[in-house]
């Protein structure tokens, strides 16, 4: 089932998320729905707050970027209750976007590699080192769980330049090819 994607300005994107409990009802169904919603919107990651749920979990599938970034090949994960435990000092600056901010693309600096621990849908714990663009995708989604969005990382000037677009997203008049929930609509 395709879920509505909550857009910039929605309070849920700013809330502190809670750990997913082991008895969370129909977790696998939720994960399936999140993947379906993400693929339908041509995204490579989707975090629970983006579908209106204040939970520490996200899905990623960056395989589509495998030609440009080999580390993304077959990189499909569900990360439940993740914790980034290490970040490389070295950073890379590249352009990114977000399904909650349609039409906005800005350069963001992120750690080149990270080590993250997380649980899968059976609540088995994994620890994984992730590099390059795959690490970028994971850091972007992780940030959603902390109540942040990627635009928080850009300069005041860049933010000012995007003000019109941000207001359109809030008002619900921004162009968006998927089912979305704007504050103003
Ligand atoms: Ni995002």
Pairwise CA distance, residues 49 & 181, whole Å:
12
Pairwise CA distance, residues 130 & 87, whole Å:
10
Kindly list the averaged pLDDT for each block of 10 residues, start to end, along the chain of length 185: 98 97 97 98 98 98 97 98 98 97 97 98 98 98 97 93 96 95 88
**Alpha helices, DSSP H only, in 84-171?**
132-145, 156-161, 163-171
pLDDT for res 81: 98
Three-point CA angle 80, 45, 14, nearest 5°:
70
Looking at the annotation, which residues are catalytic? 141
Query: How many Å lie between the centroid of ligand 1 and the Cα of residue 10?
Result: 13
Residues in the chain: 185
Q: What are the beta bridge partners of residue 117?
A: 83, 127
Query: How many Å lie between the centroid of ligand 1 and the Cα of residue 8?
Result: 10
pLDDT for res 146: 97
pLDDT for res 12: 98
Query: How many Å lie between the centroid of ligand 1 and the Cα of residue 133?
Result: 14
Three-point CA angle 27, 29, 34, nearest 5°:
95
Query: How many Å lie between the centroid of ligand 1 and the Cα of residue 157?
Result: 21
Query: How many Å lie between the centroid of ligand 1 and the Cα of residue 67?
Result: 22
pLDDT for res 184: 83
β 5-6/180-181 pair status: parallel
Q: Across the chain, which distance is largest between two alpha carbons, in Å? A: 45
């Amino acid at each position: 089932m395709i879920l509505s994607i909550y857009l910039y300005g929605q309070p849920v994107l700013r809330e502190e998320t809670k750990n997913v409990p082991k008895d969370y009802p129909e977790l696998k169904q939720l994960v399936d729905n999140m993947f379906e919603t993400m693929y339908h919107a041509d995204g490579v990651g989707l975090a629970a707050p983006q579908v209106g749920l204040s939970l520490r979990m996200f899905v990623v599938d960056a395989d589509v970027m495998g030609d440009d970034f080999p580390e993304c090949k077959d990189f499909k994960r569900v990360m439940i209750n993740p914790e980034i435990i290490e970040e490389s000092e070295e950073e890379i600056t590249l352009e990114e976007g977000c399904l909650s901010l349609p039409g906005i693309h800005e350069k963001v600096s992120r750690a080149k590699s990270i080590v993250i621990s997380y649980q899968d849908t059976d609540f088995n714990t994994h620890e994984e080192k992730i590099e390059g663009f795959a690490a970028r995708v994971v850091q972007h989604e992780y940030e959603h769980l902390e109540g942040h969005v990627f635009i928080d990382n850009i300069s005041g000037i860049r933010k000012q330049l995007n003000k019109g677009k941000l207001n359109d997203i809030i008002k619900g008049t921004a162009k968006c090819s998927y089912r979305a929930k704007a504050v103003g609509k």
